[in-house]
Amino acid sequence: MDAPGLLAVPLLAWLACGLAAVCLSPRNLAAVALASTGVLWPVSWALEHTGHQTGADLTFLLGLAGLVGLLLVYPSGRFAAPWHAYVVGGFLVLAVAGPLASLATSPTLAAAGEAVVLSEPLWVLSAVGLLALRFAKGSREERRELAPVLAGIAVLAFVVAVIVATSVSGAGVPGWVETVFLPALALLPVVLLWGISRRARVLDRELAASRMRLSEAEDGVRRRIERDLHDGVQQQLVAILSLTELATRQVGRHPDAATETLTDVRDQVATAITDLRELVHGIRPPVLEDAGVAAALAGRLDRLPPHVSLRSDPPFLAEDRVRWPPEIEAAAYFVVCEAVTNALKHTPGARIQIEVREGTAELAVTVVDDGTGGAVVRAPGGLAGLQDRVESLGGRFEVTDRVGRGTVVRASFARGALP
């Protein structure tokens, strides 16, 4: 079989691995990108062998843009930086505009289109460079995930460099190049598929553990409520019942004493109402359902020290504020409550700034304190429980520990993210 025929083997490997990845993890952008590349490159190869060069260039560049996106979101399916999405978008625009511009009657436009088509190696170099940068800045776990991919790309880059060097010098391409290049090209999607499947398994385990922690947290909350009701309000109501019975006996014989007893009943009823309100606030304050997150937090701040401040966009008294599903608003509210409680507990005098943004596309809450830092998301701690709750609703939970300069806790929800 000749070299073009042999190229079909790695192309089929890309196609098979891409389809397997998207079947395994359909919501992972890395799997979608691998599948796109796996479909587009065989199509490009087929178009080139049937004489449709423009279509071949277009589909190959689109597949290359998919590869760039794949390397930028691998293996989690999320961009490491927001601007990475614009990089992929730019490559997609060039992938379409370049081949089409090469067909233009204008010599300048046609030359520009040809230059885009011929710049394919720069696309790959850009993606590999960004991947290497992620590797250099990543954690130990991230490096462990990215290392096999970088090793596979390094082998391919070495072989391509040999091909280019021998072509420039006029010497023949060594026979071992084809023997190494094609298997390496076929193994790279296998490595990518392995990384995506490994991440999917990790996420499944984390999801199971998260559900277990949520269930345990709900049981703990129920037990706490039962204990508070039994030890607090229930005992108060029993005492009030006893006082009312005493007042009933005193009415005929000792009216003055009965009046004093009824006064005690009134005071204890008022205390019980206050305790019930505090208990309800710990579950879900009524104002949260009536007026939203910012209004509920503003009510809670009335009972907190003055160095805890709230900034809301739009203002929490605005009549046209955007509302979100109740479970999302509750999660955002309790993230702020837990973060503020932790800050007051560990650094009582720290300034705490709460920011709430309730927009049409995103609901985000941020708590910033200037304490000593040291916050860690570790099960079964309160922050881990909040992370489970936020992520179970499709949101993102982030804790930035600025050691010696405080902590930033942020939770955000995108419209339509609720599973």
Given this model, what pLDDT does residue 2 score?
44
d(C-alpha 64, C-alpha 4), whole Å? 19
Confidence of residue 343 (pLDDT cuts 50, 70, 90): confident
Long-range contacts of residues 84-93, Cβ cutoff 8 Å, at least 24 apart: 84/130, 87/126, 87/130, 91/64, 91/65, 91/123, 92/62, 92/65
Residue, of 322 and 352, whose pLDDT is higher? 352
Please say if the pLDDT value at position 296 is more than 90. no
Given this model, what pLDDT does residue 200 score?
83
352, 369 in Cβ contact below 8 A?
yes
* Torsion, CA 191, CA 193, CA 197, CA 199, rounded to 10: 70
What's the distance, CA 295 to chain centroid? 26
What are φ and ψ of residue 353, in 5° steps?
Answer: -110, 120
In order of their start, the domains of the chain are 3-211 (1.20.1070), 222-283 (1.20.5), 292-414 (3.30.565.10)
Confidence of residue 37 (pLDDT cuts 50, 70, 90): very high
Quick: pLDDT tens for 49-83: 888 888 999 999 999 899 889 988 888 888 877 78
102, 54 in Cβ contact below 8 A?
yes
Q: Are strands 396-402 and 406-414 parallel, antiparallel or unpaired?
A: antiparallel
Q: Report percent pLDDT > 70 for the chain.
A: 80
Three-state secondary structure call for residue 244: helix
Structure tokens at 25: 């993890």
Confidence of residue 1 (pLDDT cuts 50, 70, 90): very low
Please say if the pLDDT value at position 310 is more than 80. yes
Which range has the worst mean pLDDT, 186-195, 306-315, 317-326? 317-326
**Cα Rg for the chain, rounded, in angstroms?**
31
308, 322 in Cβ contact below 8 A?
no
Which residues, including other chains, have CB under 8 Å from residue 321's CB and lie 6 or more apart? 292, 294, 314, 358
What average pLDDT does the chain have?
80
Average pLDDT over residues 124-131: 82
Quick: pLDDT tens for 242-294: 778 777 878 777 788 878 878 887 877 777 776 666 666 556 677 777 778 88
Please say if the pLDDT value at position 185 is more than 80. yes
10, 155 in Cβ contact below 8 A?
no
What's the distance, CA 53 to chain centroid? 41
What are φ and ψ of residue 312, in 5° steps?
Answer: -125, 140
Residue, of 238 and 201, whose pLDDT is higher? 201
Distances (CA, A) of 219 to 214, 229, 318, 324: 9, 15, 37, 26
